[in-house]
């Protein structure tokens, strides 16, 4: 898994992890006017990457050998989903 994460990070603009830290406190301030409801929720973003196998050929080309599998990684955390409304947000963010 760590090798695949390093390969995807090296070839894309994504920073990937396979886990989040537990026991971490995060906070987000949301300004809610009077007589309004406000909710904020921390979220993570998951992305699926296809890991492919390629081989260099003697003529400086490339030959696709197939898929080596899928990598499910967390590409953003934490970010916040927010809702400010005149009534209770449904569904909550």
Specify whether the CB–CB gap between 16 and 73 falls below 8 A: yes
What is the extent of the structural domain holding 51?
Answer: 2-20+30-85
Number of domains in the chain: 1
pLDDT of residue 7: 62
- How far apart CA 16 and CA 33 sit, in angstroms, is 37
Position 93 in a domain: no
In a domain? residue 90: no
Residue 91 lies in a domain: no
pLDDT digits (tens, 9 = 90+) for 9-64: 666 667 777 777 777 777 888 899 999 999 888 888 888 888 888 899 999 899 99
d(CA 37, CA 79): 20
Q: Which one-letter DSSP state was computed for residue 4?
A: H
pTM over 0.75? The answer is no
């Amino acid at each position: 898994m760590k090798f695949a994460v390093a390969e995807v990070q090296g070839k894309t603009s994504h920073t990937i992890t396979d886990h989040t830290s537990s026991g971490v406190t995060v906070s987000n301030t949301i300004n809610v006017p009077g007589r309004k409801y406000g909710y904020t929720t921390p979220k993570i973003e998951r992305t699926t990457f296809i890991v492919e196998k390629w081989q260099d050929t003697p003529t400086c080309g490339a030959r696709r050998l197939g898929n080596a599998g899928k990598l499910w990684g967390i590409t953003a955390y934490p970010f916040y989903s927010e809702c400010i409304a005149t009534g209770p947000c449904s569904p909550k963010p």
